[in-house]
Structure 1
Amino acid sequence: KDVFFEKEKKQKLILVQAFIKPNKLDFLLEKTTELGVDAIWFFKSKNSEKLNFSKNRLDRMRSILIAAIKQSGRLYLPKIEIFESIKDIKKFDGNKNIYFGDVEKKAKRYVDIYKKDKKNSYFFIGPEMGFFLGEISYLKNDLKAKGIKLNDNILRAETAGIASIAIAAHLLKL
């Protein structure tokens, strides 16, 4: 049998996604894994869908991740973490860039502010109804996150999650 070695990436891509509808969740897991996400963190937002992460749900998520890494030829399974609130997310590697999906007209496009560095990138994506004002304040003031837009159009939550990883993974390869 052939043995494959995949170097662990120096710069990690972490998607931090508000809870979304279960039928959208599977698609998000599959596509972001194929695109190279290193971890997916879910959090309950004031405006997010109600989602129960039962053992069956977690087992299903893991099987989707395994199928996606097999299909895409990856060797590392993305890590999944679940947080009760955005304010419970406090552990970041010291070397990091933190971004959040911003629907403000003045928000800069990610491709325009991207700079190649060795920092891990965390992409916070809000729920369908958008971030609650207190969450935006926490992102900007406490986490020092930069508001970005991924597209000139406002994207659905799952589309924004997939787009953030697709764009970042592409820029890392340039």
Structure 2
Amino acid sequence: MTRIHVAEPLSVDAHLALPEAAARHVAQVLRMRQGELLTLFNGAGGEYVAVIEAVDRRTVQVHVQDYRDVERESGLSMTLAQCVAKGERMDYTIQKAVELGVSAIVPLLSARSVVKLDSERWEKKLEHWRGVMLSACEQSGRTAIPQLQPVQKFDAWLAASGTGPRFVLAPGGHHSLKQLPQAQAATLLVGPEGGLSDEEIALAVHRGFTAIGLGPRVLRTETAGVAALAALQALWGDLG
């Protein structure tokens, strides 16, 4: 069934209107009609089956009929600290990271970051990325919404990045993920289009990060983080 995120409390036998964007999608794109079923979730765990009671071009009224106590979240808590990439590259990384079960995403600005925006436009960008995340949760069956942190400067985030297993992707890195001991949580740092500078990589290593290589080929920024997250899930999580 079509899955819809609803940012409000849900309960069996509730009657409610779908959010405006979701209602337009259900009514105008999917052309669903009265009596058809939807799956609703709000990120608090589980999901609900609802039947469409009324539908027009801009509004959809539903009746919640049943609750399903499903759990599709990974036991591996992964944080992706991704230096901001241009346009669709960042969208792609966020979308696929959510599909792969990431717990949190931190957009970073590093020395070679090419995206320069003022505070108001950054807020609009964050709102856009939240939409990408919610769509990915709807598509992938997730019942929890990953955390999207504010855009942060590289040095400030690194200084407050905490402890535990932390990895920085670096071409020529002397370690590979399969050589490391298994963990239940990990932080992954990925550079922008031009990569992290040597100084930034050295600073990350000084702060306790392990420099990781992903094989003999150089991956684009939108590929590198996704590939590393998939490898982590395959090694320590629930992929495969």
Higher normalized helix content (fraction of residues): 1
Q: 2:195 matched to which residue of 1? A: 130
Q: 2:154 matched to which residue of 1? A: 86
Q: Distance in 2 between matches of 1:169 and 1:93?
A: 22
Higher normalized strand content (fraction of residues): 2
- Given residue 147 of structure 1, which amino acid in structure 2 is its aligned partner? A
- Given residue 215 of structure 2, which amino acid in structure 1 is its aligned partner? N
CA RMSD of superposed structures (Å): 2.1
TM-score normalized by structure 2? 0.64
Q: Does 1:153 align with 2:212?
A: no
1:8-23 map, 5 Å: 9-23=74-88
Deviates more, 1:4-13 or 1:63-72: 4-13
Q: For each residue in 1:12-41, what CA deviation from the matched residue of structure 2 results, as whole angstroms up to 9, or x when unmatched?
A: 101111110112111111111001011111
Q: C-alpha displacement at 1:162, in angstroms? A: 0.7
Q: Distance in 2 between matches of 1:46 and 1:9?
A: 33
Q: What are structure 1's unaligned runs of at least 5 residues?
A: none
Q: Does 1:110 align with 2:177?
A: yes
TM-score normalized by structure 1? 0.86
Q: Distance in 1 between matches of 2:196 and 2:186?
A: 19
> Is 2:74–2:101's contact at 8 Å kept on the other side of the alignment?
no
Q: C-alpha displacement at 1:87, in angstroms? A: 1.4
Name the structure, 1 or 2, with higher relative contact order (CA <8 Å, separation 6+). 1
Q: C-alpha displacement at 1:157, in angstroms? A: 0.6
Q: What are structure 2's unaligned runs of at least 5 residues?
A: 1-65
Q: For each residue in 1:23-63, what CA deviation from the matched residue of structure 2 results, as whole angstroms up to 9, or x when unmatched?
A: 21111111110010111111111011214353332222111
Q: C-alpha displacement at 1:7, in angstroms? A: 7.5
Larger Rg over CA atoms: 2
Identity of paired residues, percent?
Answer: 24
Q: Distance in 1 between matches of 2:116 and 2:95?
A: 18
Q: Does 1:64 align with 2:64?
A: no
